[in-house]
Amino acid sequence: MPFTIATWNINSVRLRLPLLQSFVRRYQPDIICLQETKCRNDQFPEKAIRALGYEHIALNGQKGYHGVATLSRFPFIQTSVMHFCGKGDARHVTVMLDPSGNGAPAHIHNFYVPAGGDIPDPDQNEKFAHKLGFIEELRNWSNALNRGNGANILVGDLNIAPLPEDVWSHKQLLKVVSHTPVETEGLTAVLEEGGWTDSVRQHIPAPEKLYTWWSYRARDWSASDRGRRLDHVWIHAEHAEKVRGISVLREARGWDQPSDHVPIIATVDG
């Protein structure tokens, strides 16, 4: 039985709760993985989320910054949180669930990778050093991941656009954080060494341009269309065929008071 997973950097779940409610009413995903929730766990709008039909909520939040949350119509078998780079900065949560009840549970890993600041030099910019360190620890975690029984699915705002077709101008962004070679090569190493498939590009292959983020600085984001694909859905290659479809909701960038990211919805065979 197929189920749907949405991943979305919502950029403040409390501020954009009406958008989340509207999104759920229209698309009805079974599981929602949010990033940049920007609130402590005890401030998360659980009552409103449960009213939407998501009784199962896994949180890793902090005051004002970062934060991830996974919302599910299916019960959790297990949840876990990890901290990377010795920082408790709320960038990961994993849930294990069994949507089809077939005894082969899915492990859904929800990540928010550091943005990295503006200067792509780890010696001059601690935020960029943190990002590179996070990617290296993500690589080690991925290589050691127990693939066991059931599928591993990694989703989230990874804050890197790895392919030339994932940015509006490959040449102009080579020295811009999110598309520098050290970042794209690092993320590609995580993908390839860990045996993952980039499900978004499996279903919407290059050379088609594809973006999930547009800056707030653009006066007309759609007309200028200077986007980047920072949000991702990965699954281990042996389960790649389970991802039956991918939808990138570009129109969400034009909603009232939008996030600068848009949701991706994956349809997955249970």
pLDDT in tens, 165-219: 999 999 999 999 999 999 999 999 999 999 999 999 999 999 999 999 999 999 9
State residue 157's pLDDT score.
99
Cβ 140 vs Cβ 186: under 8 Å = no
Could you report the per-residue pLDDT of 22-63, keeping only the tens digit for each?
Answer: 999 999 999 999 999 999 999 999 999 999 999 999 999 999
* pLDDT value of residue 190: 98
Could you tell me the CATH number of the domain that includes residue 84? 3.60.10.10
| Per-residue confidence (pLDDT) for residue 136, from 0 to 100 | 98
Residue 96: what pLDDT? 97
Largest CA-CA distance found in the chain, in angstroms, rounded: 51
- pLDDT of residue 270 exceeding 90, the answer is no
CA 117 – CA 131 distance, rounded (Å)? 9
In the structure, what pLDDT confidence band is assigned to residue 107 with cuts at 50, 70 and 90?
very high
74 pLDDT above the threshold of 90? yes
**No. of H helices and E strands in the chain?**
7, 14
How far apart CA 185 and CA 188 sit, in angstroms, is 5
Confidence of residue 100 (pLDDT cuts 50, 70, 90): confident
Looking at residue 104, its pLDDT comes to 84
Cβ pair 232, 250 in contact under 8 A: no
Domain ranges, residue 116: 2-269
Calpha distance 38→171 (Å, rounded): 33
Q: What is the pLDDT of residue 124?
A: 98
> What is the number of structural domains in the chain?
1
Instruction: Tell me what the mean pLDDT of segment 252-257 comes to.
Output: 97
Cβ neighbours of 104 (radius 10 Å): 13
**Per-residue pLDDT reduced to its tens digit, 137-176:** 999 999 999 888 889 999 999 999 999 999 999 999 999 9
End-to-end CA distance of the chain: 5
pTM of the model: 0.97
Q: What is the pLDDT of residue 194?
A: 97
